[in-house]
Structure 1
Amino acid sequence: MQKGILTIALLVLSNTFMTLAWYGHLKFKEMRWFENVGLIGIVLISWGIALFEYFFQVPANRIGFKGNGGPFSLVELKVIQEAITLLVFMGFSFFAFKTETIKLNHIIGFGFLILAVYFIFKK
């Protein structure tokens, strides 16, 4: 069970960095330091942030994978990662982009994703 919790914690950290790399740059224009940075500069900054994603993602998958003594199959790892990605993204968009709203169709879609997780893990 400890490997499962560690895997999930590492995936949360990984997805936090991934979300910052993929979407955080959209807030850069509000920061003085990044006002005049061109697209190549933004890509390089995002790539640098994404590097930290891999420091957590790769160990999470290695620790969590059944083939390495972990509790999860490859499909289960992927579904966990996708569910965490959506949760982290929703938190990020809610706090960083206050103009974004969660609508009923979003909630229904996320409900279906939770059902997907349920069915993937059903034995």
Structure 2
Amino acid sequence: MVERMIHVLTLDLADEVAAIAEYEHWHRPGNVPAAVLASIRDAGITQMEIWRTGNRLVMTMTVTEAFDPVAKTAADLANPEVVAWEARMGQFQRALPQAPDGSRWTPMARIFRLTDHA
């Protein structure tokens, strides 16, 4: 069985109904800029989902072996359309206290996997 490489990250949104609604609006089909979608796919991310409860978001990314988060960050910083998207989304996002310096999305650690248990 081939193990899929999955990254799970979390952050909070501003705890305001209007901000959450606008954030969701920007993530509907047709509203995410093509350059942003291309940057995700070009980095080796084959699937991405964002889930919400209240103002907490969880993002899952299924990636290829070639995925390099440092290279993705560098490529994004060199892309004006991605920089503009990140600035727009940044007005809604709130990093968790344990977020790495300079990052809003915080990686989560897997603590359980059913297939590890007989």
TM-score (norm 1): 0.25
Question: Going by fraction, where is strand more abundant, 1 or 2?
Answer: 2
TM-score (norm 2): 0.26
Question: Going by fraction, where is helix more abundant, 1 or 2?
Answer: 1
Q: Does 1 or 2 have the higher relative contact order (CA < 8 Å, sep 6+)?
A: 2
